[in-house]
Amino acid sequence: MNIKLKNGLRIVGEKMPHVRSVAVGVWVGVGSRAETAAENGISHYMEHMLFKGTERRTAAQIASEMDAIGGNLNAYTTREYTCYYAKSVDEDVETVFDILSDMYTSSSLGEAETELERGVILEEISMYEDSPEDVAQETLAKLVFGSDPLGYGIAGTRETVLGITSGDLRAFMTKYYTAKNTVIALAGNFDEEKIRYLCEKYFGTVPEGFSYTDYGTAPFCAGETEKQKDIEQTHIAIALPGIAQNSEERYVMSALCGAFGGGMSSRLFQKIREEKGLAYSIYASPEGFKNAGILNIYAGVSPENADLVCELIQKEMQDILKNGLTEEEFLRSKSQMRASYIMGQESVSGRMQVLGRNMLLYNKIQKAEDVLSGIESVSRREAEKLAERLFASEWAKACVCPKP
């Protein structure tokens, strides 16, 4: 299913007739990457506010009506988009559309609710600040991307959140919550004609507006930075230049990261955790955005072992540069990629997420056979050539360390 309403809103869906549930997502093309420094956190604030009541429903009624059908309703904000999603049994799909559209089109954004939710968001920021791994990753993003909005924290800062008003939120909604900047994605058991009718009924009058997902490139800034907190471990976050989320090399990147630090059999896990016993958590993963990306490496270690672990990470990169990947570890990584994708496709929510993200950011449907073919086509030499390009780069490193 791939249709567009007269106002420009896109609907994409995949039927799974063997299930009795349906997942629906409303994807809005705005996240922290679209914000200014002064309004940082407003996308995330808006996500919270859509659950706080509409012209027809209180916050309690939104929750109780969804619970009454046994459904799930939630949302999240990223650097590039915001997603509101629900899952229910197939017979209740119109109730899901009614609630999601009411939140999207008629959120009250009242001053009292805005002030009340401000306290909740400040508590959420405090929660992240109590997680040293989160602090390390946020600090790394600011170091790598500098003043580019990709380096902003998704929840914003205490200062910016304190400055956001209900008027700011209403202006933000008018600008970004528009038909051309929104995608509705579905997966599960549904009737296509009924979904077309529901989309017209509940979203057909959304103002046309503009799309805001044409993000440019972002810089990569090498260097090192450190923060001190009252903790026991040193948390190390390292970034190397990566690739964009939709790059033709995305499967090559995933295969390389899988062999290097993507699982229990990976180089980093085996060498640093299993053989040396220097870390409980250590991994490497690709982090891709539109027209930008990094290779992210993380380790949580004892302070006295931090330098040694960084040396061992570099040593493993140098070994791959010198000797390449073994056929066994390369094929194992590809098998993990393939299995992970196939198992993810067995979930209606997982399928909906893939459909929504790809349609919103890239205006296309990613077919399962194309993904599996892309994974299968990756060669070991391609992964080694990508390693030669990325591992030779100067890295950025952020450490969150115990106070002396």
Q: What is the per-residue pLDDT across 82-111, written as a single tens digit (0 to 9) for each?
A: 999 999 999 999 999 999 999 999 999 999
Residues of the chain with pLDDT > 70: what percent? 100
Measured CA to CA, the distance from residue 89 to residue 75 in angstroms comes to 19
Query: Measured between alpha carbons, how far is 253 from 334 in angstroms, rounded to an integer?
Result: 11
Backbone φ and ψ of 22, nearest 5°: -145, 135
pLDDT value, residue 40: 97
The domain made up of 2-203 has a fold known as Cytochrome Bc1 Complex; Chain A, domain 1 (3.30.830)
Mean of pLDDT values over 141-159: 95
Write the pLDDT tens digit of every residue in 258-286.
Answer: 999 998 999 999 999 999 999 999 999 99
Set 47, 117, 249, 329: catalytic member: 47
Domain ranges of the chain: 2-203, 223-402
Report the mean per-residue pLDDT for the chain: 95
CATH architecture observed for domain 223-402: 2-Layer Sandwich (3.30)
* Cα–Cα distance measured from residue 27 to residue 366, given in angstroms and rounded to the nearest whole number: 16
Is the pLDDT score of 246 beyond 90? no
Listed in order, strand segments (DSSP E) in 105-192 are 182-188
pTM for the structure as a whole: 0.94
Question: What count of Cα atoms within 13 Å lies in the side-chain half-sphere of residue 36?
Answer: 6
CA distance 96 to 86: 7
Q: What mean pLDDT comes out for the span 45-61? A: 96
Let me know if 382 is a catalytic residue. no
376: pLDDT confidence band, cut at 50, 70 and 90? very high
Sorting pLDDT into bands at 50, 70 and 90, what band is 404? confident
Q: What is the spatial distance between Cα 257 and Cα 251, in angstroms, rounded to a whole number?
A: 10
Q: How far apart are CA 34 and CA 32, in angstroms?
A: 5
